[in-house]
Amino acid sequence: MRSAQFLGVLLLLFVLQGALARATPLRLDVAALATAYLALERAVLPGAALAFAAGYLADVFGGTERGLMASSMVLAFFTVRVLVMRFRSSAPGFVTVAAVLMTLASAVFSLLVESLLGVGPPRGGELLRAVPPTLLVAVAGGFPCYKLFARLDRRFTEPESEWVFRS
C-alpha cells in the first residue's frame, strides 16, 4: 500500500515541478530525487518497479518519448544502488551525494538511450545546458525530498499486529 501513496505524492511533485519550470530557471528533477530515495531505502525489485513508474511519469509530464526517462531511471537506480549498497546511511551529506549521483546518472543514461535507440530528435545540447541548474536543485532539494518520502513511508507502513504468532 505504500507504493500507491508514494506515486500519489510523486504526482503532486510533478505538478509542482511543472509550476516551478515556468517561474524559475532552476530545473527540478523530481524523478531523479524520488529514484535516489528508492535506491537508498527500498528493496531491489519494488524499488526498480517504482523507479520505472517515476521515469514513466517524467516522460508523461516532460513530453519526452515514452520509455526514455523510464529506462534511464531504472538504469540509474541500479547504478546508484550498487554504489550505495555498502553504505546504509541517512546522513544529509550522504543523501545529497546520492541525489547528485542519481541526477547525473539519469542525464547520462538518458543521452545514451537517446543516442543508441534514436528516439526523437537529439536533445543533447539542451540536456547539457540543463545539468548545472538541475545539480544545484539536487544539492538543495535532495535531503528534503528524502525526508518527505521517509516520513511518507513511516506514516503509511502498516504496524505489525501483536497477535501474530512467531516461532
Tens digit of each residue's pLDDT (9 = 90 or more) over 7-16:
988 999 888 8
- In one letter, which amino acid is 21? A
> 53-107 pLDDT, tens per residue?
999 999 888 877 778 888 889 999 998 888 887 777 778 888 888 888 888 888 8
Q: What is the dihedral of CA 139, 35, 15, 69, to 10 degrees?
A: 110
Burial class (CB in 10 A: 0-12, 13-18, 19+), 21: middle
Separation CA 19–CA 69 (nearest Å): 20
Q: Yes or no: say if 98 and 40 are a contact pair by the CB < 8 Å rule.
A: yes
Q: Yes or no: say if 34 and 55 are a contact pair by the CB < 8 Å rule.
A: no
